[in-house]
Amino acid sequence: MSRRQYALPHRDASEPPDDTGCTVLHVDMDAFYAAATLLSHPELVGTPVIIGGGNRGVVLSATYEARRFGVTSAMPMSRARRLCPQAVVLPPDHARYSAISAAVMETFRSVTPVVEPLSLDEAFLDVSGAVRAMGSPATIGQHIRDTVHDEQGITCSVGVASTKFVAKIASGLAKPDGMVVVPRDEVVPFVQQLPVGALWGVGERTEDALLRLGLRTVADIAHTPLATLVRGLGEATGRHLHDLSWGRDPRSVEQVQREKSIGSDQTFEHDIDDSAEIHRRLLALSERTAARMRAAGLTGRTLTLRVRFSDFTTITRSKTLREPTDSGRAIHEGAVALFDALGLQRARIRLVGVRMEKLVEASASPIQGVIGEPEHGWRDADRAVDRARSRFGAGSVRPASLIERDTSTSPGRHRDLS
């Protein structure tokens, strides 16, 4: 695995950067969903692979080999296939993603309790309290990279800086599988060499507005009068970008609590008007949602069903369960009851989704036994399935109703039913 440590362009590459005071780390997994999926397909490592499914779906992730052809996350699958027709398309393995993410976040929290997750695969860390015990911020960053690689089999890139904004930019420049340290006294030249699109909060519309003002680099923004920026971009945006252009970012790393909800949805390749088929799809989504909850050590009590029709009209229905649960069977029963209560007759449905809310730590909400359930019942079975899926992949163990239909699927096609 590469152990690169980048320096600023004007620094002697043999001179280690000074990380004094650079106690903010941004850690970002490299092509996380693709890398995690390939743990079950080692023969595809080093080849173009796209994670997604269906012509009406979008790309969840892609290997760097596929990205070279222009494939990006959130791109329509139909376009991704045209750009890289030789790519192998694999369905997402959400249970594995959740399990790896939970393990990675625990690695972060073993270093510092001040962790601010941004998604399953990236987070900010404030390591100011860990420096005395573990060494310099760069040493801590390297420890995290080594641990993630050794324990999870995937790589991550780390940005080390004095602010969140600069640390996030640095981790992007480190990709893939590297680390960039931006010394505190070199933040301004580092930031001002960048294009305006690199600034936090600059989307396509704001970038277009900056280009119309003749501002192409961050240095251009820094040397534009604040009044001009406010007049052209508005008070809040103008002041925000002016501060960032001088490396000023007062935001601290916020210790974030557990997720407030966990769910899954699926957009169908063709609209469905068969209630039995919807029930079957809800089973796959319920199993996926429950697996993610178990991986996160959570249970939930409020169930929400989302249904989108062919005309894109979307409705939601919710119910509160009697007891918190992490059981796919219980979630599926509730989701089917909510769907059937809609009384839909041959309605053409484009998407369904299942979400669990009011989440609590599983250890804080012991799940009550069900009358008539064997002593070693559904909960034990669920955990046995989790272990099998973790070892052999998401499709290794599935309810029978999700297997039978797949026997008619032609070889080489991957259907995202999980």
- Asked whether the bond before 411 is cis by omega within 30 degrees of 0, the reply is no
Phi/psi at 389 (5° precision): -65, -40
Cβ proximity of 90 and 37 under 8 Å: yes
Report, as ranges of residue numbers, the positions in the chain whose pLDDT lies below 70: 1-14, 257-259, 363-418
Phi/psi at 117 (5° precision): -65, 140
Domains and CATH numbers, the chain: 33-94 (3.40.1170.60), 189-245 (1.10.150.20), 261-401 (3.30.1490.100)
Q: What is the pLDDT of residue 154?
A: 96
With 0-12 / 13-18 / 19 or more C-beta atoms within 10 angstroms meaning exposed / middle / buried, residue 289 is: buried
CA dist 17 and 180 (Å) reads 9
Q: What is the pLDDT of residue 43?
A: 96
- pLDDT digits 0-9 by tens, 304-359: 999 999 888 899 999 998 888 999 999 999 999 999 999 988 899 999 999 999 88
Q: What is the pLDDT of residue 309?
A: 92
Q: What is the pLDDT of residue 221?
A: 96
Q: What is the pLDDT of residue 381?
A: 60
Q: What is the pLDDT of residue 377?
A: 53
Helix or strand run (H / E) with residue 63: none
Tell me the residue type at 158: V
Asked if residue 28 belongs to a known ligand binding site, the reply is: yes
CA dist 125 and 111 (Å) reads 9
Among 45, 39, 53, residue whose Cα is nearest residue 89: 53
Q: What is the pLDDT of residue 153?
A: 95
The CA dihedral of 313, 325, 381, 290, to the nearest 10 degrees, is 40
- pLDDT digits 0-9 by tens, 183-209: 999 999 999 999 999 888 888 889 999
Of the residues 116, 122, 186, 287, only one is catalytic, namely 122
Residue 196 tokens read as: 């305006």
Q: What is the pLDDT of residue 375?
A: 43
CA dist 276 and 94 (Å) reads 24
Asked if 186 is an active-site residue, the reply is no
Q: What is the pLDDT of residue 45?
A: 95
Asked if residue 340 belongs to a known ligand binding site, the reply is: no
CA angle 102–108–111, rounded 5-degree value: 145
